[in-house]
Structures are given as C-alpha cells and as structure tokens.
Chains A and B, each alone.
Chain A
C-alpha cells in the first residue's frame, strides 16, 4: 500500500483501518468501515496487545516506509486510529 502525494487524512484513515483488519488476527472479523475514527487501539478499545503493537511497527515500515522504534513515542502515536493516521499523514507528506 502506498500513500500518494496529497492523499488526505481521510484516505489514510481508511487505508489504515483496512490494513489493520487485514493483518491483525484480533480484528479479522471487523468491518473496516465500522471502526470509528477515534477508536482506541489497545485495551478497552479494539483490544490490541503488545504483540500487535510491534506488528503495527512492521506494517508501518512495509507499507509507509515509516520507522517507529522508540516505543515510548509509539505509545502516543499508537493511541488511536486518529493519532496513528495523523502520524502517517504528517510523515508521508512531501
């Protein structure tokens, strides 16, 4: 999945939801369209866990060329669909 120049936040959110549903077994039965934009990824939100967190690191790397190795920072970035989409949006803009 690539993000073209000028893709807006909305498109990124949609692609991100599809990406997560496709790759994370815990979300596999969800309809990406029904995931809320402000949905929290971990714990009481979508219920993802620490192994999913490192899997998302790899998904970001492979799909957006983004490196998030610092998991302390990752915690803020990975908070919700929204925060993660914004991170991708801001870091893939030329």
Chain B
C-alpha cells in the first residue's frame, strides 16, 4: 500500500513554520542563546523556539503546545483542518519530556512536606502527547506515544506507516515534539555531551550538542484516501527501517551495525538501492561518538560523494521532536531541490573521512533518507520519495 505525505508542520528555533524555516536555512541563521525558559546554573547555549507564544497554560505543557502548533500547520497544508471528523485518523507522536512527571516544584513540595500538588499530577495524567492531541482533534483511531528517546519522532512515523498499511486508519498524524526542559538539560550536561559553544556537526573540532525544542509533524495518508479527496500528492513515505545495536545504554555500537542495518532495511522496503538516494539528512548531533559512527556508516552505505548534512546546527537537538522535524525537512528539501549547509561544520575530520555540505546545495533525484540514532541503541532510517506535481507542496507556501 502506498502512503503519501500530504501535510507538513514544523516549529523550532529555526522558524515557526516550514516557510520561515526554509528562509532560515537559506540565510544560514543560527538562533541560539542562553536559557531563558527556566532558571539553571548551566550556561550551555540552547535553541529555544522564541516564536512560540504559548496560550493559556501551554507553558506548563509546552511540548503539547509546540506539538499542537505544528499539527495545525500540517493539517492546514493537508487541507484537513476542518475535515478530520469523518475519517479514521491515527495519532502517533514521539517525545521524551512530555512522558515524565519531572515537575521539580511538585517533587520538592512532596519531598519537603509530603504534600501532593494535584495540578502537576493532573497535568501529567492528561498530557500524554498522542492522547492529548487525539483528544483535541477528536480523532477516532489508534493513538500512541513513542518514548524511544532521540529516535522517538522517526519511530512514530514508522509506527504510523505500519498502521496505515495494516488498514488501522486512513490518515495519520505522526512525528514528535519536545520542549527545552531543565531536567534533560542537567542530564545531558552530566553525560558530558553538551557543547559550550554552537554545535559543529561532523567537524573535526566538534565538542558536543546543543539542546533545542520544537515539533515536526507529517500528515500521512493512504493513496486511496488522498485519491478519494482528489488531493495531489508529491511526497511519499517509502520505507522505515529500525534496528537496535543491542550494545550499550548510552553509547552507539562502534561499528554502527544497527544504523547500517536500519538504513539497508529502509532502502529495501522502498525497493531502491543506495545509489538512488539523492541526499541524507543525518542525525549529526555533533557529539564525538554519534558523528564518527554515523559518518562511517554513511560513507560505507552511500559512498564518499553522497550529499549529507545535519540540521542540528539550526534547531539544536530537539530529542523526541528531531526525527519528526528532520523527516519534514528532508521532504521539503526534496520538493525544493536544495539542501541547506551543515551549519557549524568547517573542518574535515580524518576519522570520518566524508564532509557534509558547506553551503546551500542543489540536489536532483527522487529519494531522500533521514537517519536518527538514539540513546538505548536505537537506529532509524526513513526513505522519502518526491514525484513533483505543481501545486502539491505539502506546506503552505
């Protein structure tokens, strides 16, 4: 069964929608700064989504707020904003922060006095990301929150693909959302993988990642459904490959066996070879381990000349949102025919041996691969195809 991508929605430090994000990519602007969302003694630069103005209590449930904003853009561009009620719609979203009761004030009060503050608890219990979005949209269909750390968003898209193929729904809202939050900031700091400066993916002198926040959403739809509503479709989700390293809790397998397996599975599912791939939107967090392993695998699978880049230099690492955002970026880049510079990259690392894009680069061809690697040994690759029709851009131009 063919599954089209009929809507895209993104929100991050790089822009409040796809149009503005592409403009940021064109200009090479990097909107990072110190943390302003909460108090912390840590001084790492972060990518906050400054354009996001939360309404009502959205700052308390920021991940959900970010997510709803991207969902709205995606649904509007799909032509679905008012028209979901009669369809079977699945909601599958990845996150990290929205799945945890990590409210420090709640916990401090409990610890100091034994008192249970009900508001944070209820907020948490009503804030299951996919459940909350399904409830807002009143969708009838499967809903599931994927908590697979940094591959969550990409895995959520894969789950939605399986649902559509299995006939469990006709339309799926899939991707991920995560807010910048003090708890993971402290955690990533303790792991020694946050950079004091702007991140430099795949660079010889890279010294860690910058955290970011945002949401990236795809509207996926069976061909039957899009045909029935006479929706022109340019973009197709052709393959999802997922594999676990079965190696270590926090470190990727040194040879990148899981990542390679996930890419080969996704290519095979799409029925294409590595030579058919126009470019790779890499995970590229700018940590020593990730970029070394990923660079080696990309070179092994796609050869030394494949155009690739990481968008983390524009968005920061948005954790559960990253896979969703980057799938959307890959789709938009295929449609537009250009990929951005790998922001932050300057010097080739001999240990990686291939270099990402140094400037905005024209691409031709029909297929893109987006990779995600995560904590816990998860590896995901998505294959997207573009067969361009005028007037079928899956985002508002």
Instruction: Tell me whether B397 is interfacial, beta carbon within 8 Å.
Output: no
Contact across chains for B250 and A69 when beta carbons are under 8 A apart? no
Interface residues of A in 18-74 (CB under 8 A from B): 49-51, 53-54, 57-58, 69, 71
Q: Confirm or deny: B136 has a beta carbon within 8 angstroms of a beta carbon on chain A.
A: no
Residues on B with beta carbons closer than 8 Å to the beta carbon of A57: 192
Measured between beta carbons, the chain A residues less than 8 angstroms from B192 are: 53-54, 57, 69, 71
Q: Which residues of B contact A50 (CB under 8 A)?
A: 248, 250-251, 289
Interface centre among A53, A54, A57 (most CB of B within 10 A): A54
Residues of A within 8 A of B190 (CB): 54, 58
A-B contact count (CB 8 A): 19
Q: How far is the CB of A52 from chain B (nearest CB, A)?
A: 11
Who on chain B is nearest to A51 by CB? B250
Interface residues of B in 209-259 (CB under 8 A from A): 248-251
CA distance A53 to B192 in the complex (A): 10
- Residues of the A chain whose Cβ atoms lie less than 8 Å from the Cβ of B251: 49-51
* Main SS class of interface, A: helix
A58 CA to B192 CA, complexed, in Å: 10
A49 touches B248 (CB 8 A): yes
Asked if B166 lies at the interface with its beta carbon under 8 angstroms from chain A, I say no
Which residues between 318 and 338 of chain B lie within 8 Å of chain A, taking CB atoms?
none
Tell me how far the C-beta of A69 lies from the nearest C-beta in chain B, rounded to whole angstroms.
7
In the complex, which residues 187-223 of chain B have their Cβ closer than 8 Å to any Cβ of chain A? 190-192
- B209: shortest Cβ distance to chain A, in Å? 14
B contacts with A, residue count (CB < 8 A): 8
Chain B residues near A54: list those with CB within 8 A: 190-192
Docked CA distance A50–B191 (Å): 9
Contacts of A49 in B (CB 8 A): 248, 251
Which of chain B's residues 175-191 have a Cβ closer than 8 Å to chain A? 190-191
Q: Which of B287-325 contact A (CB under 8 A)?
A: 289
- Considering the complex, give the chain A residue whose CB is closest to the CB of B250: A51
Closest chain A CB from B165 CB (angstroms)? 38
- The answer for the CA separation of A29 and B18 in the assembled complex, in Å, is 55
Measured CA separation A72–B96 after assembly (Å): 30
Q: Shortest CB–CB separation between residue A20 and chain B, in angstroms?
A: 17
In the complex, what residue of chain B is closest to A68 when comparing beta carbons?
Answer: B192
Q: From B194, which residue of chain A is reached at the shortest CB distance? A: A69
Residues of B within 8 A of A71 (CB): 192
Minimum C-beta distance from B374 to chain A (A): 15
A58 to B187, CA, bound (A): 12
Closest to A54 in B: B192
B191 surroundings in chain A (CB, below 8 A)? 51, 54
Write the nearest CB–CB distance from B43 to chain A, whole angstroms.
12
Closest residue of A by beta carbon distance from B192: A54
A71 to B251 alpha-carbon distance, docked (Å): 15
Closest CB of chain A to B245's CB: distance in Å? 14
Q: In the bound complex, what is the Cα–Cα distance between A69 and B192 (angstroms)? A: 7
Per the bound structure, the CA–CA distance linking A57 and B250 in Å amounts to 16
Q: A58's closest neighbor in chain B, by CB?
A: B190
Residue of A at shortest CB range from B191?
A54
Assembled-state Cα–Cα distance A83/B289 (Å): 25
In the complex, the chain B residue whose C-beta lies closest to that of A71 is B192
When distances are taken between beta carbons in the complex, the residues of chain B under 8 Å from A58 are: 190
Interface centre among B191, B192, B249, B251 (most CB of A within 10 A): B192
B193 to chain A, nearest CB (A): 9
Chain B residue at minimal CB-CB distance from A74:
B192
Which residues does chain A contribute within 8 Å of B289, judged by CB atoms? Answer: 50
6 A-B interface contacts by CB (under 8 A):
A51-B191, A54-B191, A54-B192, A57-B192, A58-B190, A71-B192
Closest 9 CB pairs of A and B: A54-B192, A50-B251, A51-B250, A54-B191, A71-B192, A58-B190, A54-B190, A57-B192, A51-B249
Please give 4 more A-B residue pairs, beta carbons under 8 A apart, in addition to A51-B249, A51-B250, A57-B192: A49-B248, A51-B248, A53-B192, A54-B192
